[in-house]
Structure 1
Amino acid sequence: MNFESEYRIRPNQQVSLDTIETRTRGPFERKSDGKAVTEENVKVIRDLQYRMFVEREQSLLIVLQAPDAAGKDGLIRKVLGKMNPQGCRTYPFKVPNETELAHDFLWRIHHCTPSKGKVAIFNRSHYEDVLVVRVENLVPKSVWSKRFELINDFERILTANGTRVLKFYLHISPEEQLERFKERLDNPDKHWKLNAGDYESRRHWDAFHRAYEEVFQKCSTEDAPWYVVPADRKWYRNAVVSSIVAKTLRDMAPQLPPVDVDLDEIRQLYHQAHARQQESS
């Protein structure tokens, strides 16, 4: 299966999340098959991220959006977090503070975008300003409705500067979400994740779906596409996202810089140093 083509939202495509499956095995007969694909993709991602870090000509921004408990943290921990931390950083965007609210909604976002050679992962993102603010009526429609085009302009600036942008929506069912909430309740190590607000948000499930659908239609572009990834099965989610990230990095084709030293001279210096070391020992 071509995951990149299967789950990509085309520009101006109308999306109905209610009709998109959340639980699938795709082309995999066994869970182990999907995990094997993820493991191989992680190796490719690590290698190409290293090349990009050394090349310092391009960068990659990965945006993760999802309902609570859909697996953003797990995806980062098991897949994206395997990259070299010297060239990769995760930004978890929470409720904006007083200083951030005193600026435009993209102010706190822009300085977190990746510099050349780097990867940035957004755990939630600038899209909260056309999602939660809309559903919870934090700002009027006259404000948030203008932000779609501002977001497109913002992402256009990034791509024009050599940053590839990938945006993933982890699509889970309300039944699966509730089961994961139960797992948190039953596991003391996960009690820190418990939040009464998560249950309140379930009351707005349909409203969030409608908000996301407008995001996908208006903000999935050729250069900054959205992908709706079935996420009820964690291993399948990981296989899909890792495949798309690996393919993107292959397309970016980062190259190691050309050698600008005399290798024969360096080898000679090495052998001289080795000989002196042998004599002293």
Structure 2
Amino acid sequence: MSSRNYKVTGTIKLAEIETKEIDDKAKSKLKKARKKLSEVQDTMYAHGKYSMLVCLQGMDTAGKDSLIREVFKQVNARGVVVQSFKVPTENELKNDYLWRHYIALPQRGKIGVFNRTHYENVLVTRVHPEYILGENLPSIRSINDVTDEFFHNRMEHINNFEKHLSENGTIILKFFLHISKEEQKNRLLRRIEKKNKNWKFSASDLKERKLWDKYQACYEDAINRTSTENAPWYVIPSDDKNTARKIVAETILEKLESYKDIKYPELDAKTKARLSEFREQLEND
């Protein structure tokens, strides 16, 4: 697989990108990729000079939760941290909109997964501009001040934020899980029909679904304006969950393996010279 097939390197139109791709061997390929991912992350943890930020965005039911579970299930628990961003709390609203994301960034050696991300601030808030009023910004006196220019400025802030992270050792990959409206309908119906899925269903899901076209337009604009070489977007066909998981896992692995300097650190010469002595001490203990 080549991640180039999914990487956004120019202007895209989401309506022209397929939402369904099926790989009959997706499960076995995912199993292989996540085993290697576990090994590479262990090396990255020991190396301690890079972190990785994996950003997941998508419409409701796109499969973010299950993808995280399946892709990272073999990674050592100390090496992966998942952050799920909900509606901002009162405390979070007292800070700038990137603050809560900044303090959740992964430490060097770890993979951080943002399940919904800082892009919510130019997606959900753009579909519902009234939410911006809750941020109590000096420049926003009414909803009329929440313009396209306002959100385009935010996207530039985000580009600068990600550039800063990249230059300080954070490897950034952003995935848009691209599903069709018909597939979302089927997944919402399953939430209603299956008792063990009922808890996931909310009437608000149907209200947001009516805004599908507006969300798609906002995603398209955000992806086109913020896919950069140091923080690229990948549009992942996600109607088939197994294939989507496989593509994401292989993309992450491909990226990490491209960093040839990520290696286990060597012992200092003094300690290395005494290994036989230490072994003897233990054997005689």
Instruction: Normalising by structure 2, report the TM-score.
Output: 0.90
**Whole-Å Cα distance in 2 between the matches of residues 267 and 247 of structure 1?**
38
Gapped regions of structure 2 (runs ≥ 5):
133-145
> What is the identity, as a one-letter code, of the residue corresponding to 1:268?
E
Q: Choose 228-237 or 49-58, whichever is displaced more.
A: 49-58
SS state at 2:244 partner: helix
Q: Secondary structure at the residue paired with 1:146?
A: helix
SS in 1 for 2:284: helix
Instruction: Please list the CA deviations of residues 215-252 of structure 1 after superposition, one character each: whole Å capped at 9, or x if unmatched.
Output: 11110000100000000001100110011011111112
Specify the alignment match of 2:195 in structure 1.
Answer: 188
Q: Return the alpha-carbon distance in structure 1 between the equivalents of residues 278 and 49 of structure 2.
A: 27
Shift of 1:15: 1.3
2: CA distance, partners of 1:267 / 1:165: 41
2:231 aligns with 224
Equivalent residue number for residue 24 of structure 1: 21
Aligned partner of 1:278 in structure 2 is none
Distance 1:215 1:266 in 2: 57
In 2: Cα distance, 1:78 partner to 1:167 partner: 17
Partner of 2:143: none
Superposed CA deviations along residues 119-161 of structure 1, whole A, max 9, x for unmatched, are 1100001000100100112331243231011000000110011
Match of 1:249 in 2: 256
* Structure 1 unpaired stretches of 5+: 274-281
- Trace 1:1-281 onto structure 2 (pairs within 5 A): 1-2=1-2, 4-10=3-9, 13-25=10-22, 28=23, 30=24, 33-138=25-130, 139=132, 140-141=146-147, 142-253=149-260, 254-260=262-268, 261=271, 262-273=274-285
How far has the Cα of 1:70 moved from its partner?
Answer: 0.6
Which stretch shows the higher mean deviation, 247-256 or 148-157?
247-256
Residues in 2 aligned to 1:19 and 1:80: alpha-carbon distance in whole angstroms: 30
* C-alpha RMSD over aligned residues: 1.2
TM-score, normalised via structure 1 length: 0.91
Aligned-partner SS, 2:258: helix
- What whole-Å deviation, never above 9, does each CA across 1:1-44 have from its counterpart, x for those lacking one? 41x1000001xx2211111101122xx4x2xx111111110011
How many residues in Structure 1 have an aligned counterpart in Structure 2?
Answer: 265
Partner AA of 2:263 in structure 1: Q
Percent of residue pairs bearing the same amino acid type? 38
Residues 66-98 of structure 1 deviation map (CA, whole Å, 9 limit, x = unaligned): 001110001011112431111211000000011
Provide the residue aligned with 2:138 in structure 1. Answer: none
Instruction: Give the C-alpha shift of residue 191 in structure 1.
Output: 1.5
Q: State the alpha-carbon separation in 2 of the partners of residues 116 and 106 from structure 1.
A: 20
Mapped to 1, the partners of 2:73 and 2:8 lie a distance apart of 25
